[in-house]
Amino acid sequence: MLDPEDSAEHKVGSSFPKPFLVFVAMLIVLGAWLLLAFSAFEQKETDFYSFKVVNIRGKLVSLEKYRGAVSLVVNVASECGYTDSHYKVLQQLQRELGPYHFNVLAFPCNQFGQQEPDSNKEIESFARKTYGVSFPMFSKVAVTGTGANPAFKYLVESTGEEPTWNFWKYLVNPSGKVVKVWDSTVAVEEIKPYVTELIRDIIRKKKDEL
């Protein structure tokens, strides 16, 4: 007589043909591999230039275009007590050093005192007409909190320094790593020596490659 347990095993086995079981096993292995690969990708170190952002005219752009240059990343505002002094000197810095592998990268933000309330178009018009701004400007973003722009999240997480007001300044080297951070109270004039030193390093390396 057929053992009841043998009969149960036969029924289970006959319900799932061997090729199907092999296929399922392969899917499990593949899923595990993909999970590991995704985790490794997520853990891969990023840098500031690996992000994409929206410029002030609504176009998605890659910060990769600034790799190899020095960047001074600033959260700007149009109605702040620091607006006039910062915009004037930031533009002066751009004009003097811009041809030598340097850019001010301005990100309007309305999180502090509601001092950047206007639209992107109005912000750009104000900056261009009032200060002759020629450096790149980006769409208005949040720079702190859960809704912060990913590029700014990187700046904050990599430095432990989160903006608490308008015109925080992050100095990013040609490899996309943050090397210095200054708060609103630090004048741009005080930052210039750090910027010029990074630019000298770029020029020296280019000369060594010749």
List the catalytic residues. 80
Q: d(Cα 43, Cα 46) in Å, to the nearest integer?
A: 9
Q: How far is CA 58 from the centre of its chain?
A: 17
Q: What does 93-156 look like in DSSP terms, one character per residue?
A: HHHHHGGGTEEEEEEE---STT---S-HHHHHHHHHHHH---S-BB-----SSTT--HHHHHHH
User: Residue 161: CB partners within 8 Å, gap ≥ 6?
Assistant: 155, 168, 170, 181
Asked if 98 contacts 135 with a C-beta cutoff of 8 angstroms, the reply is yes
Contact present, 85 and 98 (Cβ < 8 Å): no
Contact 73, 203 (CB under 8 A): no
CB atoms under 10 Å from CB of 64, counted, come to 13
Amino acid at 197: E
